Amino acid sequence: MGMREPCPCGSGKRYKACHGKARARQSVAHVGRPFEGMASECDWVAMREIVPAATAPLSLKEPGERSVTLTTVLPLAWPALVRDNGDIFLAMQVTTGSGDPSRDAADALLRALEAEPGTPIPPAGLPGPGPRLQDLIADVPLEVTLHEDFDYWMADDASVDAPGVRDSLDRANSKVMPTVRLASVDAAYWVDMGDKTFLRWVMPYPEEKLLDAFARLHAANESALTGVPSRFVGSFRADGLLVPVWELTEGTSAEGCEEAAADYLTRLNAALAQTAALTSEERRARAGLQNRQITLR
């Protein structure tokens, strides 16, 4: 039932203004950490929020002959795509959604599993209650592969010959920023934005505890990356997790951040383990850090 179609109850109203209201209320219920409990939760968040072009193979809990690949984005912002051979691409970065991205992606995946080969899966309004990714995807770590462009979209498939796909590909390729996932720590991504270079690191710790740890390090002048000319510029909140960001000196490579990131993680874990109340200086540092937070979406 489309949200703009007449309601089947016979009221004469559109579905969205009648019985669809209850469905919409159920659909947009906010989930603070939509990927909580999944292996590689931080990389799921990164794929949805900060990584431009990347893929990762997925395993279904009910295995079959279908191959499913997670991707950051698809042509025309399709939530999913079924190739001519039946393989499925499932996208994280979409233009519409409810308050639960895990439910939204699960709905797109279920529709893809039922679709004919060579079929793009378009947005279909807000899904009703149903399974989430945690119910459909095997609990194994993501093996993320980053790409320099989105040419992996293209194949000898009818689905990618749809009107506008080539233009969508060209637009997407023009916006891809060189990105590298660090090997020394989980879910940390070096990105070259042209005029500036940053390290953005999705962290799995509870927000309040992590802010306390940041404050302890900041008050002790230990918030920069040791051995790498850098400046801690703040953090943003994405899908319930904090993503601290460091601005790197021009010319700093991803390889040059590996040892520094591992060292920072050691210091951060030590700060996280502290249980004493924050000092007055640490409280001031914490307040400053909170002022430099933004929330995505």
Average pLDDT over residues 167-180: 87
Strand order through the sheet with 241-248: 179-181, 188-192, 197-201, 241-248, 230-238, 293-295
Name the band, by pLDDT with cuts 50, 70 and 90, for residue 30.
confident
Task: Reply yes or no on whether the pLDDT at 96 is more than 90.
Answer: no
Q: pLDDT band at 216, cuts 50/70/90?
A: very high
- Say how many Å lie between the first and final Cα of the chain, rounded: 27
Q: Is the pLDDT of residue 46 over 60?
A: yes
Average pLDDT of the residues in 226-241: 91
pLDDT at 156: 57
Mean pLDDT of all residues in 260-283: 96
pLDDT above 80 for 237: yes
Residue 292 has pLDDT above 80, yes or no: no
For β-strands 241-248 and 197-201, DSSP reports them as antiparallel
Phi, psi of 234, rounded to the nearest 5 degrees: 130, -160
Neighbour-count burial for 10-46, b at 16+ CB within 10 Å, e otherwise: eeeeebbebebeebeeebeeebebbbeebebbbbbbb
Q: Is there a contact between 211 and 286 (Cβ–Cβ < 8 Å)? A: yes
- Write down the pLDDT at residue 262: 97
Nearest to 119 by CA among 94, 155, 165, 83: 83
Q: Is the pLDDT of residue 22 over 80?
A: no
Token duo for residue 136: 């459909």
Supply the mean pLDDT for the chain: 88
Give the pLDDT mean for 213-224.
93
pLDDT digits (tens, 9 = 90+) for 196-212: 999 999 999 999 999 99
Q: What is the pLDDT of residue 282?
A: 96
Q: How far apart are CA 238 and CA 116, in angstroms?
A: 34
Using the predicted structure, report yes or no on whether residue 3 has a pLDDT greater than 60. no
pTM for the whole thing? 0.86
C-alpha–C-alpha distance, residues 258 and 16, integer Å? 51
**Nearest to residue 133, comparing CAs of 76, 68, 74?**
68
Distances (CA, A) of 293 to 52, 206, 224, 241, 279: 22, 15, 17, 12, 21
Taking residues 275-294, what's their average pLDDT? 90
Domains present along the chain, CATH in parentheses: 30-174 (no CATH), 179-295 (3.30.1460)
